Structure 1
Amino acid sequence: MSEKQKLKVTLLAGGVGGAKMAEGFASLEDVDLTIIGNVADDEAFHGLWVSPDIDTMTYTLSGRINRQQGWGLADEGTRALETLTSLGEDTWMMLGDRDFGLHIYRTMRRMKGDRPSDIAADVAKAFGVKSKILLPTNDVVQTRVKTEQGWLSFQEYFVKEKCAPAVKALEFAGIEEASATLEALEAIASAELLVIAPSNPLVSIEPILAIKGIREALKKRAVPSIAVSPLIAGKVVKGPADRMMSALGMRADAVGVATRYQGLADILLIDHQDVALSAEILDLSIAPHCSDIMMKDMSDKMRLASEIVDLARAQGQNGAAA
């Protein structure tokens, strides 16, 4: 590969961790980034179709994200919600005024019969996002969480209940009927590097992998596939992944993450604090690579993305030499 040629990276990502990883890759001049995002968090609120993970990715890569929250738009108002509250509506899902504008646009386009993938691409273009943001499916897939209160939508569990109820089971409604988009399958087939972001393996990455055609395409890869652990020393950086994994009888550590990605990742980036788990990860036929995987600021995001690119190029050279 010449120095001027951009490396085609396809990133599977959801949540804030996925958006941070995407931002790191998007900032590298030698990377051509495509993201396959999570749509299983999508839900209708106040008659509008909301796509939290895709919106977070769009807002992040356009530089409009609320950095303090990690989601939503910066300098946002809540007058629309205040009006809905005064009218007696339940407004536990925080949606900003300009956020509503995007949800109105998306819903109008969906009502016209436009493909969700085309809508997402048009939104990203309008927001000035240069990387491609792809949907894994144009079908409706929704994560449901079983708790002592019964089955909850993911947003009810995550936002309304603040992840407090113990998780007894997970399901992805609509997954049996869902099929992968041609764009997502092409992004996997044409990638020179596949990356699984440090997103929740159960509710951000698994809904992508479970879509018909996605997992199979990853298993057929002929290029490096590198995953980044969302857990450090058994604790998640952000979100409920560690509690979910423990509640469902899985190991809530880097070994548990590696188990989820057997056959899909060649290398797992883990934090230096988890070096003692390296042998167990290697036993799963995944090569552990220790690093500082915490992304506190932009320099961390770029550093980690560059390290992944270097690992992939080194693996490619070793493979060519063999």
Structure 2
Amino acid sequence: MREAPRVVVLAGGVGGSKFTLGVRAALARSGAPEATVIVNTGDDLWLSGVRLQPDVDSIVYALAGVNDTVRGWGRADDSERVNAELQQWDAGWPWFTLGDLDLGTHLARTGWLREGLTPTQVLERMSRRWPLGARLLPMTDAEVDTQVALRDGTSMHFQEWWTRHRAALEPERFDNPGIDVATAAPGVREAIAAADVVLIAPSNPVVSIGPILAVPGIRDVLRSAPGRVVGISPIIGGRVVRGMADVCLTAIGVQTSSTGVAQHYGARSGGGILDSWLIAEEDAAHAGSIEALGVTPVVAPLWMSDVDATAAMADAALAAARN
């Protein structure tokens, strides 16, 4: 692998945005080209007439340095006057807060979409505002919003299940209607095929990384790409770090453990997508079972406590790709 590798990151959610910051810092120190980040758009939705892209915005705001690090979503120092007015009109979702600055993003996006721009073109335009230090691509230009099918036979949008119900309603499966006929966004497959390293962020494997891999052609190009594919476990000490990813994993029959998620992704040598798998020091005992899957385990600190710690994690992943 060349000294300055071409890096692609598959990411979504808060974990993905934090990891992307670390990758950017690690690559900047080494003089490598900017990473290409392929972002999950399965969380997207229409609300009050505007198009929301929560994972896209989380990563854009984080790279721009304008994200709310306390809440973990939205813009820092935002106000909620418009959201309060929407509730007075009984519009939108009262349990899904939209900040005023955040709404500005959604209005701009919706206007551009109405003018005929694709989500790829919209994200390229959004990326001009701030020096993001990365190239961002949506996984697809198609609308493939995630629906949660519940055990009681009903279904709802993922954001309602996740934000309103806090994943308390038992899911049977997660669907992305239309994804079987969707295509990867322009540049996605080409970026993976040209990469020296593909990093799978420690995002929710089911609803953040899962939709990306479900876009026809993306999993295939990952399996055949000449670069190494290195994943980072979202599990530390047998527990999810943030959110309710364990509920998602249980719903699809995957054990909430470093080994369980590695098995879910699978080894490239066996038709999966992983060459190497970073696991936390707390999960070092899983190294043997991961190696038995045909995946090379790498033990490293995985707490993303700050950018420096996350950059060190990214360095460990890049080093794993060289070995």
TM-score, normalisation: structure 1: 0.93
Counterpart of 1:119 (choices 107, 122, 125) is 122
Question: 1:83-133 CA deviation, whole Å, 9 max, x = no partner?
Answer: 111122232211100111110011111111111101011102213212101
**Deviations 1:220-272 (CA, angstroms, capped at 9, x unpaired):** 01111100000112210012111221233221111111112212110110111
The residue that corresponds to 1:24 in the other structure is 22
Partner of 1:8: 6
Of the candidates 123, 128, 133, which is equivalent to residue 130 of structure 1?
Answer: 133
**Cα deviations by residue, 1:157-203 (Å, 9 ceiling, x for unpaired):** 11111221122111111111201123101110111110000011110
Aligned mate of 1:277, from 279, 286, 289:
286
Q: Which residue, out of 250, 257, 261, partners 2:254?
A: 250
Alignment of 1:65-76 (within 5 A): 65-76=67-78
Classify the secondary structure of the residue corresponding to 1:105. Answer: helix
Is it true that 1:182 corresponds to 2:191 in the alignment? no
Distance in 2 between residues matched to 1:310 and 1:275, nearest whole Å = 18
Q: 1:204 corresponds to which residue?
A: 208
1:320 corresponds in structure 2 to none
Q: Given residue 88 of structure 2, which amino acid in structure 1 is its aligned partner?
A: S
Quote how far apart the aligned CAs of 1:2 are: 6.8
Alignment coverage as a number of residue pairs: 312
Unaligned runs of 5+ in 1: 316-322
Contact 2:35 2:135 in 1 (8 A): yes
The residue type paired with residue 169 of structure 1 is: R
CA distance in 2 between partners of 1:285 and 1:253 (Å): 17
1:296 corresponds, among 296, 305, 311, to 305
Match of 1:163 among 164, 167, 171: 167
Contact 2:139–2:188 under 8 Å retained in 1: yes
Alignment root-mean-square deviation, CA = 1.4
C-alpha separation in 1, matches of 2:211 and 2:2: 36
User: Which residue of the partner structure matches residue 226 of structure 1?
Assistant: 230
Determine the structure 2 residue equivalent to 1:37: 39
Secondary structure class of the residue paired with 2:125? helix
Is residue 139 from structure 1 mapped to residue 142 from structure 2 by the alignment?
yes
Any conservation in 1 of the 2:10–2:209 contact (CA below 8 Å)? Answer: yes
Instruction: Output the CA distance in 1 between the equivalents of 2:251 and 2:118.
Output: 37
Q: Deviations over 1:33-74 (max 9, x none)?
A: 110000000001110000000000000000111111221100
- Bigger mean CA offset, 97-106 vs 147-156: 147-156
C-alpha contact (below 8 Å) 1:56/1:65 kept by paired residues: yes
Q: Residue in 2 aligned with 1:104? A: 107
What residue in structure 1 maps to residue 269 of structure 2? Answer: none
Whole-angstrom CA distance in 1 between matches of 2:118 and 2:317: 33
Structure 2 residue corresponding to 1:61, chosen from 54, 60, 63: 63
More off after superposition, 49-58 vs 253-262: 253-262
Aligned residue type for 1:27: A
Q: Is the 8 A contact 1:44 1:50 kept in 2?
A: yes
- d(CA) in 2 for partners of 1:272, 1:177: 41
SS of residue matched to 2:166: coil
- Contact kept in structure 2, 1:10 and 1:191, CA below 8 Å: yes
- 2:217 equivalent in structure 1: 213
Report the alpha carbon displacement of residue 301 of structure 1 after superposing the two structures with TM: 1.0
Q: How does 1:78-89 map to 2 (within 5 A)?
A: 78-89=80-91
* Preserved CA contact (<8 Å) 2:22 2:310: yes
Post-superposition offset of 1:148: 4.2
1:191 and 2:195 matched:
yes
SS in structure 2 at match of 1:176: helix
